[in-house]
């Protein structure tokens, strides 16, 4: 490719991207721009340790999942760290959306709820009751972690239940 072709492709892409932003709802517009800025800063980091962020299993982190397709968690959300291997964390995204919380399976309170959603309540360090998206777990570079906000003890019954339900999703 020539420099001229690259410039032409870049100009076309920027026009296309501007058009996309015009169609987004405000929450997605903001989330997308923040994710793009985070990607520019963090994408070349091998882990969060480059920024002084060290995560461990059980940590609940505010993180940037980046752009998403339909039915995926994207942009900035909380996530529960299940394990850390080779600078990557197995993370289960979560939300505090009350509608999603109400739909989540609970053996006692909502036995007909959606099994891919798991209530974890309001843990110390969090502001609202939360629910995990068990079917959206993934390994991510720990450089996606913006901040560690809370912790769920790995020896707790709840953490063991989360881990078992993640395994059941496979």
Q: Which domain holds residue 52?
A: 3-169
User: What is the per-residue pLDDT for 168?
Assistant: 93
Which pTM does this prediction carry?
0.87
- Per residue in 33-61, pLDDT tens? 888 888 999 999 999 999 999 999 999 99
- Domains of the chain: total: 1
Q: Output the pLDDT for position 25.
A: 72
Q: What pLDDT, in 10s, does the model give residues 107-155? A: 999 999 999 999 999 999 899 999 999 999 999 999 999 999 999 999 9
CATH of the domain at 9: 2.30.30.110
Q: What is the pLDDT of residues 17-30, one digit of tens each?
A: 778 777 777 767 78
Beta carbons within 10 angstroms of residue 164's beta carbon? 9
pLDDT band at 1 (very low <50, low <70, confident <90, very high): low
64 φ/ψ sector (left φ>0, alpha ψ -120 to 50, else beta)? beta
Q: Report the distance separating Cα 37 and Cα 93, nearest Å.
A: 20
> Which position has the token pair 């390994």?
139
């Amino acid at each position: 490719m020539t420099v001229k072709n690259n410039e032409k492709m870049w100009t076309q892409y920027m026009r296309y991207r501007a058009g996309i932003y015009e169609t987004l709802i405000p929450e997605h517009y903001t989330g997308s721009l923040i994710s793009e800025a985070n990607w520019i800063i963090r994408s070349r980091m091998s882990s969060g340790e480059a920024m002084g962020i060290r995560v461990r299993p059980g940590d609940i982190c505010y993180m940037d999942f980046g752009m998403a397709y339909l039915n995926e968690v994207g942009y900035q959300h909380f996530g529960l760290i299940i394990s850390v291997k080779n600078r990557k964390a197995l993370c289960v995204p979560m939300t505090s959306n009350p509608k999603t919380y109400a739909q989540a399976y609970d053996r006692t309170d909502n036995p007909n709820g959606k099994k891919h959603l798991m209530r974890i309540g309001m843990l110390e360090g969090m502001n609202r009751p939360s629910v995990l998206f068990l079917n959206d777990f993934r390994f991510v570079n720990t450089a996606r972690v913006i901040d560690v906000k809370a912790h769920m003890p790995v020896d707790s019954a709840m953490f063991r239940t989360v881990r078992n339900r993640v395994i059941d999703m496979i």
